[in-house]
């Protein structure tokens, strides 16, 4: 049940996908409960620290400079602004603060600011995660030296389908960055995107690649494509929701000790679909993106769903942080008492 394997064959993965839905869900739940506390979901907050004008051509991405999506470009945020957002995230109950920059790779001139951000966010008692594109071995060492806990770098899809989605960076580039991150001692966040027009075999092959890495990533985001007007994938056919839920369940079984994150696309899923994703073994989410409660209906909806499903935010094992737990518990309680909540904001 808890066996961590790195030798999955494609036939084995396809066989998991082909199980009757309830059998697959049952197996995923068994694996989940053998490895995690049931009904706990790790909560992260994501901030874009540099938006748009990316040199890469990822066909799903509104931040690519190759496509005109009307996205407003922003330069690298000032360190102080990042720290203000991190403080707000902590006050709202996030345990990890993820910072993403739309870069092919970080430039050396940006590294001092990046270091300051990491040190400042970490100093608040939050876990830190960054996604900055391709890294050299030296850059990975620098980030680890500054105290970065996690680095996100996705494989996106299967090696076979990859060339249909990105031409400016190779699959091997991604694998190299992942090994630099590991070698530097950081934790790895690595997943992919489904619903990009890939085949069922590609979904199996993506999960196989991730599970057969030398070490399983600690976090595995499974994203449902959000079709953005102006990107080449804006008109791709929708993926059946059950196929997405199956992908989460198979990821849970193959990556028994990893957090599987229900990631992009969640805001377009109804509560019932999200509940099935949690049942399939998803145990991590991004919580809101605008952190002031009055401006944050998405975060409120998340707390309502947590309350309805009896889910609780997961606590960091290495840090005792009662304030964090209290903040999240209060946010959930607020959802149970809407009148009180609205009076308070």
Tell whether residue 24 is a contact of ligand SF4 (CB under 6 A): no
Report the alpha-carbon distance of residue 87 to residue 291 in Å, rounded: 10
CB of 64 to ligand SF4, least distance (A): 4
Flag whether 277 is marked binding. Answer: no
Taking CB under 6 A as the criterion, which residues in 295-334 touch ligand SF4?
A: none
Radius of gyration of the chain (CA): 19
Nearest to ligand SF4 of 64, 204 (CB atom): 64
Supply the residues annotated as catalytic: 54, 58, 61, 98, 129, 189, 261
- Please give the structure tokens belonging to residue 89: 């995230």
Give φ, ψ of 64 to 5 degrees.
Answer: -65, 135
Pairwise CA distance, residues 136 & 128, whole Å:
19
Beta bridge partners of 48: 100
Residue 102 is a binding residue for ligand SF4 (CB under 6 A): yes
Q: Could you give the CA distance from residue 310 to residue 215 in angstroms, rounded to a whole number?
A: 32
Q: What does the alpha-carbon distance between residue 19 and residue 202 come to, in Å, rounded to a whole number?
A: 17
Q: What track of x and - describes contact with ligand SF4 for positions 253 through 282 (by CB under 6 A)?
A: ------------------------------
Q: Is 261 marked as a binding-site residue?
A: yes
CB of 196 to ligand SF4, least distance (A): 12
- Residues of this chain, 42-71, that bind ligand SF4 according to CB under 6 A: 54, 56, 58, 61, 63-64
53 versus 269: smaller Cβ distance to ligand SF4: 53
Q: How far is the CB of 60 from ligand SF4 (least distance, A)?
A: 7
**189 labelled as ligand-binding?**
yes
Q: Is 190 annotated as a binding residue?
A: no
State whether residue 120 is helix, strand or coil: helix
Strands 284-286 and 127-131: unpaired
Provide the residue count of the chain.
345
Q: Which residues are at the interface with ligand SF4 (CB under 6 A)?
A: 54, 56, 58, 61, 63-64, 102, 133
């Amino acid at each position: 049940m808890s066996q961590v394997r790195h030798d999955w064959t494609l036939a084995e993965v396809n066989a998991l996908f082909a199980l009757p839905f309830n059998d697959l869900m049952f197996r995923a739940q068994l694996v989940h409960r053998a490895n995690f506390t049931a009904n706990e979901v790790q909560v992260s907050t994501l901030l874009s620290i540099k938006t748009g004008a990316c040199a890469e051509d990822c066909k799903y991405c509104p931040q690519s400079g190759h496509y005109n999506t009307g996205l407003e470009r922003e330069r690298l945020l000032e360190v102080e602004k990042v720290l203000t957002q991190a403080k707000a995230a902590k006050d709202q109950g996030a345990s990890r603060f993820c910072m993403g920059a739309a870069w092919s790779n970080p430039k050396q001139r940006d590294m001092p600011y990046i270091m300051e951000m990491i040190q400042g966010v970490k100093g608040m008692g939050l876990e830190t995660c960054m996604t900055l594109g391709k890294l050299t071995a030296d850059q990975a060492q620098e980030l680890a030296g500054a105290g970065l806990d996690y680095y996100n770098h996705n494989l996106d899809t299967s090696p076979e389908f990859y060339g249909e989605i990105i031409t400016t960076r190779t699959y091997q580039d991604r694998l190299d960055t992942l090994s630099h991150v590991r070698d530097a001692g950081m934790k790895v966040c690595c997943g992919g995107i489904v619903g990009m027009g890939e085949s069922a075999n590609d979904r199996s092959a993506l999960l196989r690649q991730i599970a057969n890495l030398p070490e399983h990533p600690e976090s595995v985001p499974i994203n449902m494509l959000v079709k953005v007007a102006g990107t080449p994938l804006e008109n791709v056919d929708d993926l059946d929701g059950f196929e997405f839920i199956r992908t989460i369940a198979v990821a849970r079984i193959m990556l028994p000790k990893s957090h599987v994150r229900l990631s992009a696309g969640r805001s377009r899923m109804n509560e019932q679909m999200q509940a099935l994703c949690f049942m399939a073994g998803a145990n991590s989410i991004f919580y809101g993106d605008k952190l002031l409660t009055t401006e944050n209906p998405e975060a409120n909806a998340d707390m309502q769903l947590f309350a309805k499903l009896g889910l609780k935010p997961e606590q960091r094992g290495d840090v005792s942080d009662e304030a964090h737990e209290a903040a999240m518990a209060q946010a959930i309680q607020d959802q149970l008492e809407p009148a009180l909540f609205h009076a308070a904001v």
